[in-house]
């Protein structure tokens, strides 16, 4: 559905994108991760033809960008672009006419989109009277009014409470079930784990890792991650190194990469004589992969 080939972009000689190659397949949810300044927003702006790349090209459904292809893309930006004094329905009528939706179809589409995002009973409510979660859903409905083939969601659950976040996740899954292709940017790694078929990680303008979650897990040579608390961290690190376990320290957490699953009793025995006050066991998570890539100087 979307193919990006050797994309470069600089601002005042500062490189922002450096040869990005990326392909998103029809019907999948693709998660794009990366720290602030990695180039995510610039990449989205180039896809939407709001910014011109210095080099490279963007193909949508196998075709180079043309003005008419902008109707194939729907975008819900991170900041909700709402008019406080317009109702939910008025927002959709406004966007529908901009996109050229025929008037004979527009009323039905407005009704369908509002119902789809759970705002069917709030069609006459002003945007300023909606909760944060409702405003985000309205923003997504506006991106859907012209029935795009590719939906771009930039930080769709930023600043939302847990309940609203789950509502947006369900809406995203429904979009995929309707055959839509989605590009999702997020700083919430749990969100990417739960929703995305494949994940790409941008770092300093380069796509440094990409794949399904199971494929990305293979970048970490461990079956299990141990997070330990101890009064003698130096001794614990030395013991782990003797066992051949890679050691990582993230902020105040001490992590050991364990190559095979062990019983708790085996772990305690291996650290006999060392005061471990707490042990947390968990599978390799996206957060471990992400942190490892961010701290590495190598391209994976």
**Residue 226, burial from CB neighbour count under 10 angstroms (0-12, 13-18, 19+):** buried
- Here the tokens at position 60 are 């949508």
Segment 257-268 shows an average pLDDT of 92
At 9-48, the pLDDT tens digits run 999 889 999 999 999 999 999 999 999 889 999 999 999 8
Q: Is 196 helix (H, G, I), strand (E, B) or coil?
A: coil
- DSSP H or E stretch at residue 287: helix 286-295
Query: Does position 299 have pLDDT exceeding 60, yes or no?
Result: no
3-state secondary structure of 48: coil
Would you say residue 131 has pLDDT above 70? yes
Q: Answer yes or no: is pLDDT of 222 > 90.
A: yes
Q: In what order do the strands lie in the sheet with 276-282?
A: 247-250, 253-258, 224-230, 276-282
Give the mean pLDDT of 81-92: 94
3-state helix, strand, coil in the chain (%, to 5): 40, 30, 35
The domain segmentation of the chain, as residue ranges, is 2-217, 224-283
- Which of 77, 89, 238 shows the shortest CA–CA distance to 154? 77
Classify 2-217 by CATH class. alpha beta
Percent of the chain at pLDDT above 70?
98
The bridge status of strand 247-250 relative to strand 206-211 is unpaired
Between strands 150-154 and 2-11, the pairing is unpaired
Say if residues 201 and 210 touch (Cβ distance below 8 Å). Answer: yes
- Tell whether the model's pLDDT for residue 240 goes beyond 80: yes
Is the pLDDT at 129 greater than 80, yes or no? yes
Q: CA-to-CA distance for 58 and 2, rounded, in angstroms?
A: 7
* Residue 298 banded pLDDT, cuts 50, 70, 90: low
pLDDT of residue 300 exceeding 60, the answer is no
Q: How confident is the model at residue 297 (pLDDT cuts 50, 70, 90)?
A: low
DSSP string, 123-189: TTSBGGGS-HHHHHHHHHHHHHTT--SEEEEESTTTT--HHHHHHHHHHHHHHHHTT-EEEEE-S-H
- CATH dotted code for 224-283: 3.30.70
Buried b (16+ CB within 10 A) or exposed e, 167-193: bbbebbeebbeeebbbbbbbebbebbe
Segment (H or E) for 98 = helix 88-98
Residue 110 is predicted with a pLDDT of 96
C-beta neighbour count of 29 within 10 angstroms: 23
The DSSP 8-state label assigned to residue 270 in this structure reads H
Q: What is the pTM of this model?
A: 0.88
The mean predicted confidence, pLDDT, of the chain is 91
């Amino acid at each position: 559905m979307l193919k990006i080939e050797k994309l470069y972009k600089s601002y005042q000689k500062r490189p922002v994108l450096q040869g990005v190659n990326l392909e998103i397949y029809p019907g999948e949810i693709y998660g794009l991760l990366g720290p602030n300044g990695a180039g995510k927003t610039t990449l989205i702006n180039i896809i939407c033809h709001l910014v011109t790349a210095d080099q490279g090209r963007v193909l949508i459904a196998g075709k180079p960008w043309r003005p008419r292809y902008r109707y194939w893309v729907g975008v819900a930006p991170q900041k909700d672009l709402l008019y406080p004094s317009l109702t939910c329905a008025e927002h959709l009528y406004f966007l529908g006419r901009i996109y050229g939706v025929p008037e004979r179809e527009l009323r039905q589409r407005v009704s369908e989109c509002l119902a789809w995002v759970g705002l069917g009973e709030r069609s006459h409510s002003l945007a300023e009277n909606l909760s944060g979660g409702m405003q985000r859903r309205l923003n997504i409905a506006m991106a859907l009014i012209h029935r795009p083939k590719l939906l771009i969601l930039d930080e769709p659950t930023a600043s939302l409470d847990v309940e609203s976040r789950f509502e947006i996740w369900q809406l995203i899954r429904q979009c995929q079930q309707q055959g839509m292709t989605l590009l999702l940017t997020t700083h919430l790694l749990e969100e990417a784990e739960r929703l995305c078929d494949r994940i790409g990680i941008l770092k300093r303008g380069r796509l440094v890792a990409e794949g399904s979650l199971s494929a990305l897990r293979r970048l970490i040579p461990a079956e299990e991650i141990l997070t330990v608390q101890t009064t003698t961290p130096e001794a614990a690190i030395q013991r782990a190194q003797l066992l051949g376990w890679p050691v990582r320290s993230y902020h105040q957490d001490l992590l050991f990469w364990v190559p095979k699953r062990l019983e708790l009793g085996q772990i305690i025995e291996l650290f006999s004589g060392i005061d471990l006050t707490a042990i947390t066991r968990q599978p390799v998570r996206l957060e471990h992969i992400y942190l490892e890539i961010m701290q590495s100087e190598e391209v994976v």
